[in-house]
Amino acid sequence: PGSSPCRSVIMGAKAVGVELNKKLLNLQAGEHLTPEFLKINPQHTIPTLVDNGFALWESRAILVYLVEKYGKTDSLYPKCPKKRALINQRLYFDMGTLYQSFANYYYPQVFAKAPADPEAFKKIEAAFDFLNTFLEGQTYVAGDSLTVADIAIVATVSSFEVAKFDISKYANVNKWYENAKKVTPGWDENWAGCLE
């Protein structure tokens, strides 16, 4: 529940009407390193989806898979190459810049009791500056309707909120985020996971 990537998959599944059979792994106890789990996912990361014997990990890939396989329309991941390319760019931005800045700054503090790194904090601010620019004049992060990019990024931004990062300094992000809370399926479960 505390993992943004896991919560994004939960919201994505909700958006396409898929009921997940969720399995909670205790990472501190090494449950993701058991031979059984390594057979499913040798990279031993979460989330991992198993769909009728097909195993997939990396939350953004899972989001796309769920929409392509189970979506009743293509609204969350349109077939248009240009729209899809923009969504992909935002998904990769989330993975490599926004979420990565969260992990680089907060994980050492939480898991290793390391002091806060001001240089890592600057990377968070830079990531939010980029996101704020992407959202100039936009209601959604990649186009004119909710997509998998919004779902991935709202999971990440909600983790920043619960970590007490001041989102309000970024007017476009703040406006988008307030709307995303209302329109993203599964938001309540996402927020409950954040608080947990």
Per-residue confidence (pLDDT) for residue 88, from 0 to 100: 98
The label of the residue with tokens 């198993």 reads 50
What is the DSSP-derived secondary structure letter of residue 54?
E
What's the CATH number of domain 81-188, 1.20.1050.10, 2.60.120.1600, 3.40.50.720, 3.40.50.2300? 1.20.1050.10
Alpha helix (H) ranges present in 71-165?
Answer: 81-93, 99-112, 118-134, 148-162
Q: What pTM did the predictor assign?
A: 0.97
**In this structure, are residues 179 and 108 in contact, taking their beta carbons and an 8 Å threshold?**
no
pLDDT at 28: 87
Catalytic residues: 3
Domains 4-70 and 81-188 share a fold: no
- Residue-range domain boundaries for the chain: 4-70, 81-188
**Tokens at residue 134, please?**
């992407």
Cβ-count burial of 191 within 10 angstroms (0-12 exposed, 13-18 middle, 19+ buried)? middle
Q: pLDDT per position in the chain (196 positions), as tens?
A: 999 999 999 999 999 999 999 999 999 899 999 999 999 999 999 999 999 999 999 999 999 999 999 999 999 999 999 999 999 999 999 999 999 999 999 999 998 999 999 999 999 999 999 999 999 999 999 999 999 999 999 999 999 999 999 999 999 999 999 999 999 999 999 999 999 9
Residue 194 near residue 159, CB atoms below 8 Å = yes
In this prediction, residue 52 carries a pLDDT of: 95
CATH superfamily ID and name for 4-70: Glutaredoxin (3.40.30.10)
| Model pLDDT, residue 146 | 98
